[in-house]
Structure formats: structure tokens, C-alpha cells
Amino acid sequence: MAYGSEGLIANVVVLVNPESAGGRTRRRWPEIARALERAIGPFEHAVTEGPRHATSLAREAALAGCPLLVSVGGDGTHGEVVNGLLQRAADAPSRERPALGIVPSGTGDDLARSLGLPLDVDGAIARLASGSERSVDAGRVSFASDDGPGVRYFVNVADFGLGGEVVARVNRGGKVLPGKASFFVATVAVMLAWTNRPMRLVFDGGADAWEGIFREVVVANGPTMGGGMVIAPDARMDDGLFEIVALGDLGLLSTLALAPAIYGGKPTRDPRVRRRRASRLDAHAADGVPVAADGESLGRLPATFEALPAALRIRM
């Protein structure tokens, strides 16, 4: 990490998504910028102008050799920035990439929750100035789409099935409500119309396989999703493994009855809720089951999810 003469971090680049949190980040940016400058000193910044723009901006900053790249926005923004960092050189050691700083200003802010960062802007910025760096795992997902095969990286949670459709609906809805409210409304709407699908899940290249009717499958690097739902309480972001949570052929009423266990991190003995740790998952389905990662809709099954140990350095 490079420091200036007064001990402040030098050559920092800040990427801002003004449309995150339903446009509230745009209104708050002057306040956020002042707090950042007080904490870390002068910095360069760039404003995203549309989908995937943060990815290209992050890649450019990484190639330019900046030591710290700060992402201001929601989980989708942070996910795009991660993709820019990891696309720079997928096989390069993480120490050759910038460290990543997170300022949560989004709808769900689940990455910040999973990392144990403050959810308020001032608290998160204070961590940038005084915190240390932590190496965390990332994930790579290869998926099908109308444009052909795709590859994306994620750092917190990927999922497919009902959850993939919820993410798509939240994004289409403009995120005008606070985090949990946006996800709750979208989840209820999708639940009313969703049909569970037959799928085949293959773990670690064939070490084990599950086949049956599934409602949703979560590939968790971090423990929380959907605006604070603790879907994978045992997930660790530095052990090289995903916690995979598969919801079987649950209906609306049974899902609601099990919601405290499924989404609240509490144990359940219901055999339709299955958990397994793995570093790779290959998922197949006969029809177009939607896939999402870190708050972004990607494509559909078939998909392969691979853990990338210690792929990122997070400024904590």
C-alpha cells in the first residue's frame, strides 16, 4: 500500500454508482466525497454510466497500478468492480491487484454484512482509513445465455432458481424501497408465480450428486443475501469452499413456515433443506433456470461454480 507524506493513502481511485440505492447515492455523493477525503486524503474518482461500466473502470484502474480501489454503491456495483479486478489477470497473485475498499450505498448491502463491515457510510469509511487488509475467496460462474456462454466472478453469493428470478425482479423494479423491503416485495411476487424445476447438482467433479425437484439453490461464499437474510450461517470467505444450500420441492406455505430456518440461520431437520460444502458445483436443468450473482442477473443453467481461494484483498 502506498502512503503520502502525511500517512494518508496515495493514488486511490474511487468508483461511484450514482444510481445505486434508487438514486440516493447521487444525492449523497458530495457528503460521501468529503468524508472520504477527510479519511484517506485526495483521490481520483469516476462515475459509472450504465451496466458493466464499473467493470471496465476497475480494470483500467488496476492496469494503472492504483493501490486501493474503493467501490461506492450496492452489491451489483461491488460485483462489477470485482469482475474488473479479476479480469485484469485471472491467474495473477492477488497481491498484484489493488486492494478493494467497500462503501455500502445500495439496496441490500449484503457484501458489507458478510464481511462484517459497518453498514453506515461513516463507519465504512473509517475502516478504509484505519483497517488492515484481509484476503478473501471469490467465485467464478460459467453459465448459458442468449448471447452464448458467459463467465462472471462473484464474491458474496450466487444463486439459481427462485432466487435468480427475485434478483431480476428487484433490478427491474428500480429499487425504490429500502433493502429488505425491496427483496421482500420481489420475493413474494415471484413466489406466487414460481414453479419448482427438476435439476441435477454435481459436487466437486463427481464426488457426490443430488437430483430432484428444487426451488432454489444458493452458492454462498458469504453468509447473507437478500438484504440481510442469513442463508448460509457457516459460510466463511477464506476457506476455499462454498456453502451450498439447496431448497427442494417446497411450496409457498412450506417455504413461509421454514423461512426462519432457511433465511434466519437457524437449524432445521426438514429433508427438503439440504446443505453441503464444496469447491465446485455443476448445475443442470432441462429448461431455463435463471442464474444471478452478487445482485446481478446473469443468464441460465447449465452453470458451473468454482471457488477461487484468496483471490481478493479487502481493505477492512
**Among 88, 94, 15, 100, residue whose Cα is nearest residue 49:** 15
Backbone phi, psi, residue 102, to 5°: -120, 125
- What is the model's pLDDT at position 6? 41
Instruction: Map grid coordinates 484483498 to a residue.
Output: 313
| Strand runs labelled E in the chain | 13-16, 44-47, 68-73, 99-104, 133-144, 150-154, 157-161, 197-203, 208-214, 216-220, 224-225, 229-230, 242-247, 273-278, 280-285, 290-293, 296-315
- 153 three-state secondary structure: strand
ω into 93 cis (within 30 of 0) = no
**How confident is the prediction for the chain on average, in pLDDT?**
87
End-to-end Cα distance, the chain: 13
- What is the model's pLDDT at position 11? 84
Choose between 140 and 263: higher pLDDT: 140
pLDDT digits over 18-68, tens only?
988 888 889 999 999 999 999 988 999 999 998 889 999 999 999 888 999
State the pTM of this model: 0.88
Domains of the chain: 13-131 (3.40.50.10330), 138-311 (2.60.200.40)
